[in-house]
Structure 1
Amino acid sequence: MKNISQVLNWLSSLKIAILLLLLIAMSCAVGTLIPQQESDQFYYDNFDKNPFLGIINGNILLLLEFNHIYTSFWFLLLLSWLGLALAVCSLRRQLPILKSALSWIDYKSPRQIAKLSISQTIQTDSPSKNLEKLTLNLKKTGWNIRETDGRIAARQGVIGRLGPILIHLGMILLMIGATYGSLNGITIEKFLAPGRSIDLLNNNEEKGLTIKLEKFQIERDPQGRAEQYRSIVKIIEPDGYNEEKEISVNYPLRYKGLTLYQADWSLAAITIQIKNSPKLQIPLKAIPDLGEQVYGTIIPTKKDGNDPILLTVESELGPVKIYDSDGTILTALGRNKEAEVKDTLIKIINIIPSSGLLLKRDPGVPLVYTSFAIILLGGSLSIISTKKIWVLHEKEKSLIYIGGLSNRNLSGLSKELPKLVSFLVN
């Protein structure tokens, strides 16, 4: 039993809890710096040449599970350890403190009151009458009273002792909810052009919700930089019910446990016309070698597929730059503009942007939000100071002894006590 007690004391020690919090905070910082949930090849390509912190290459990074820190064994172990430490601390320390605060302590001798943090002795000719005044005054000011044979015990703010327990409970629920969401949540990132849709499967691997992009708009500043992205999406249920909603950056859509974020944008396709041909919609691909947000496609100018040209574009507003096979720029065309390129008439009809949508289903969100509410409530209650006052009198000496203590804001109680004493004097 002694060994078990020592282990529990060690688990619930403040030093261990602070160390665990520091380790978890450092792990979260590393998870922010290192991209998560990428392919193994991504980490080899990016960290073999430039190791993280100068020593952690791709192999070590994968071995330490830095590619999925928040679901790694060691991170979950840290969370479990901290949760256990908080639970043990609440059971072994906070609950006894709450139980002690709820129990009435009866001080029967002046010596006991004199040992309190604040104490006062008052000479009075009518102790019984003054005790009645004091009792009424304490009740009016919100104190809970218990009288025993001319002795008074009063307390206020006992509910504040519940605050630390609620904070511990909220933190444990927060870790459980976050862990459950990380292990069982689903994240899908998809680029959709207007008119396109994505089908989601339900738990039975059957078709569930359908998300269709109706309209996508990029708002730009006078310099042409993207400021805001807006998507009009239609949510379609399997039974045919549907509704349209607008989402934008920082204004996601929440629907039946699914959260839909406006995350990014790209260019999906370009519509062109070659001579008298029908309108051709040609997909665009990102060309990182030419720039961060440069999209392009290669098309031939001859019927036999020879003599190709490269079309590139950086925004849905254009212009479309046309390059020769040797990299020489031939011309630049805006929308609804045409030019003859290598004896071929090319007209730019339209540039179609696509909306980058991020879909998340996190089953741990209800627990996380509940934990936030509990932590806020516990923090608010922890501000409340628990105050206790004891009063007794000696008929033989016509003396009244009054004393009190408080777990915090002792100076406030010391200022409040003279007001109570003034009633006794008068």
Structure 2
Amino acid sequence: MTIENSVDKKSIWSAFGRLLRQELLPVLTDLRLAIVMLLAIAIFSVTGTVIEQGQSLAFYQANYPEHPALFGFLTWKVLLTLGLDHVYRTWWFLALLIFFGTSLTACTFTRQLPALKAARRWKFYDEPRQFQKLALSAEVDNGSVNSLTQLLQNRRYKVFQEKDDSLYARKGLIGRIGPIVVHVGIVTILLGSIWGAMTGFVAQEMVSSGNTFQVKNIIDAGPWATAVSKDWSVRVNRFWIDYTASGGIDQFYSDMSVLNNQEQEVDRKTIFVNSPLRYRGVTFYQTDWGISAVRVRVNKSPIFQLPMAQLNTNGQGRIWGTWIPTKPDLSEGVSLLTKDLQGTVLIYDATGKLVDTVRTGMSTQVNGVTLKILDVLGSTGLQIKADPGIPVVYTGFALLMLGVVMSYFSHSQIWVLQKDSRLYVGGKTNRAQVTFEREMLEILDKLSLPSKDEEKAVAIEPHSA
């Protein structure tokens, strides 16, 4: 019974192996299928770029309403059902990447590697009729195999010679390796993308100048994402904005320090748009700004730092405001409004009447007290990302570029046979056919006779490959 079970298992595995080779592999290595998968990956990648990823439900309900639906069908329900709010981590997109990578791997092992193995083998021709099947062949009345050896070596051909009457030479074998490197590069990019999607995260923080924070407000994360290490934090030393002469924003900056557990500075950088801070695989981008607080003094009181909140203007610009009591019992007070960090503050009384307009450092009289505006404090809006797959993707991209360059090298082969006082020369190449023909002619031209007055009879006949 044991022997019979063993035989049955072997038969099953044998049948399964034949099924893979005969049915599955031809499908996986089909070029048309690979092109379709590549186009699908490109389309869904564009979708993930156009549709905002990792936003809240309220965001999608506001931007993709049911009435009217975008393009007549794209609503927030459709978007969330298909996973278009996190395209790069959906099961179907990851399955598409894995299937495409499997197809490339199968093609590499079933086509590219055998082609490279065949290109590394050489075979000597021993009959003149064998030269007729070559793309280019010639018959030379004089000359010898040995005289061609040095000429070919000077042109970087690797020469193999078994006898004095036959020769095989090749160059550009790197061109056969190039497609394999391209496949390895693409598969590496796919693996890096999958790893980054499963282990990366995106967070957002709005931090006031002078405050220290740790990354906690994670809005989107992969299922394998690990929490940010708690042994370091970030302090926003200062936030400021440079304005143009017309009052528009030119650039905003954040001076940031990375602190260890002992609050010692281990890294520091002033970031701005397109110039982030990177530390331990976490990248801090400057993406937004706001006004966090205003510092004031009433008469000779201590300095108060009051938070400012952004007001709802129905899309008519950004304004921040706060309320300051002018009596100890909080029965009276004024409202302060500002729209930027240029230092201009508007003061309104309880009836909504504009009382005064002051700049930071100035004082004014309101409700019988002296109110001095000392400073308006800004806050920096940071987008924080961690993508462990980026180094893998960059490595794959480098391999891809290297493989493309390698693929441009022509793989050229030349055979030589000396028989019956005639020299037969033939060759073929996988690309740059005209250049190869010129090279063949130059080689044959150098097989000249000792006398300059005599001419060498050379007949070159092109043949179909």
Specify the alignment match of 2:180 in structure 1: 165
- Determine the structure 2 residue equivalent to 1:268: 292
> What's the C-alpha RMSD, in Å, of the aligned pairs?
2.5
Shift of 1:320: 1.7
Code of the residue aligned with 1:189 in structure 2: it is Q
Give the 5 Å matches for 1:239-254.
241-246=264-269, 247-254=271-278
Which piece of structure 1 moves more, 352-361 or 159-168?
Answer: 352-361
Q: Note if 1:57 corresponds to 2:106.
A: no
Match of 2:403 in 1: 378
Q: Which blocks of at least 5 consecutive residues in structure 1 are unaligned?
A: none
Match among 326, 335, 344 for residue 360 of structure 2: 335
Cα deviations by residue, 1:197-249 (Å, 9 ceiling, x for unpaired): 11359968873111112222322322232233332222222366533422332
Which residue is 2:131 aligned to?
A: 113
Residues in 1 aligned to 2:352 and 2:40: alpha-carbon distance in whole angstroms: 52
Answer with 189-198 or 321-330: which moved more.
Answer: 321-330
Q: After TM superposition, give the deviation of residue 195 of structure 1 in Å.
A: 1.8
Q: Write the deviation string for residues 329-356 of structure 1: whole angstroms up to 9, x where unpaired.
A: 4433221123334555433211111222
Q: Which residue identity does 1:221 align to in structure 2? A: T
Task: Specify the code of the residue in structure 2 equivalent to 1:287.
Answer: L
Deviations 1:89-126 (A, max 9, x none): 111111111111111133322222222112222221xx
- The amino acid of 1:137's aligned partner reads L
Aligned partners of 2:115 and 2:176 also within 8 Å: yes
Measured at CA, do residues 11 and 281 of structure 1 come closer, stay the same or move farther in structure 2, by a change above 3 Å? same
Once the two structures are superposed, residues 22-46 of structure 1 have per-residue CA deviations (whole angstroms, 9 ceiling, x without a partner) of: 2222212221222111122321232
* Residue number in structure 1 paired with 2:243: 220
Residue equivalent to 2:301 = 277
- 2:153 maps to 139
**Map of 1:85-104 to 2, 5 A cutoff?**
85-104=103-122
For residues 367 and 324 of structure 2, the distance between their equivalents in structure 1, rounded to whole angstroms, comes to 12
Deviation per CA, 1:358-403: give whole Å up to 9, x if none. 3322221221222122112112211111111111121x2x221111
Report matched runs for 1:136-215 at 5 Å.
136-149=150-163, 150-199=165-214, 207-215=230-238
In the alignment, what sits opposite 2:31?
14
Change (3 A) 1:354 1:137: same
* Distance of 2:356 and 2:45 partners within structure 1: 49
Are 1:199 and 1:208, in contact at CA under 8 Å, matched by a contact in 2? Answer: no
Contact 2:203/2:215 (<8 A) preserved: no
Aligned counterpart for 1:258 among listed residues 243, 260, 282: 282
Match of 2:387 in 1: 362
Rounded Cα–Cα distance in structure 1 between residues aligned with 2:53 and 2:29: 32
* Aligned-partner Cα distance in 2 for 1:345–1:330: 13
Question: 1:148/1:231 Cα in 2 relative to 1: closer, same or farther (>3 Å)?
Answer: same
Change (3 A) 1:68 1:414: same
Distance in 2 between residues matched to 1:226 and 1:32, nearest whole Å? 26
Quote the offset at 1:54 in angstroms: 2.9
Deviates more, 1:178-187 or 1:192-201: 192-201
8 A contact 1:318–1:351 mirrored in 2: yes
Deviates further, 76-85 or 191-200: 191-200
**SS of structure 2 residue aligned to 1:207:** coil
Comparing 189-198 and 223-232, the one that deviates more: 223-232
**Runs of 5+ unmatched residues, structure 2:** 1-17, 217-224, 450-465
Q: Is the 8 A contact 2:193 2:393 kept in 1?
A: yes
Query: Aligned with 2:168: secondary structure?
Result: strand
1:123 maps onto 2:141 in alignment: yes
Cα 1:243–1:206 change in 2 (3 A) is closer
Deviates more, 1:314-323 or 1:348-357: 314-323
Partner-residue secondary structure (3-state), 2:203: strand
Question: What letter matches 1:27 in structure 2?
Answer: F
Change beyond 3 A, Cα 1:326–1:93: farther
CA distance in 2, matches of 1:197, 1:180: 31
Alignment equivalent of 1:412, drawn from 427, 431, 435? 435
2:340 to 295, 307, 315: 315
Closer/same/farther in 2, CA of residues 380 and 205 from structure 1, 3 Å limit: closer
2:425 is aligned with 1:402: yes
The residue number in structure 2 matching 1:40 is: 57
In structure 2, relative to structure 1, the CA distance for the partners of 1:39 and 1:200 (3 Å cut) is closer
Aligned residues: 420
Superposed CA deviations along residues 274-325 of structure 1, whole A, max 9, x for unmatched, are 3443222111222342644332224455555456644322211131223456
Letter in 1 for 2:307: P
Q: Quote the Cα distance in structure 1 between the aligned partners of 2:258 and 2:157.
A: 56
Measure, in 2, the Cα distance between the counterparts of 1:159 and 1:65.
43
CA change 1:414–1:63 in 2 (3 A) is same
Q: 2: CA distance between counterparts of 1:354 and 1:50? A: 37
Alpha-carbon distance change, 118 to 329 in structure 1, aligned in 2, over 3 angstroms = farther
Give the TM-score normalised by the residue count of structure 1.
0.90
1:117-142, Cα deviation, whole Å (9 max, x unpaired): 12222221xx4xx3222101111221
CA separation in 2, counterparts of 1:248 and 1:334? 26
Q: Which amino acid aligns with 1:44?
A: Q
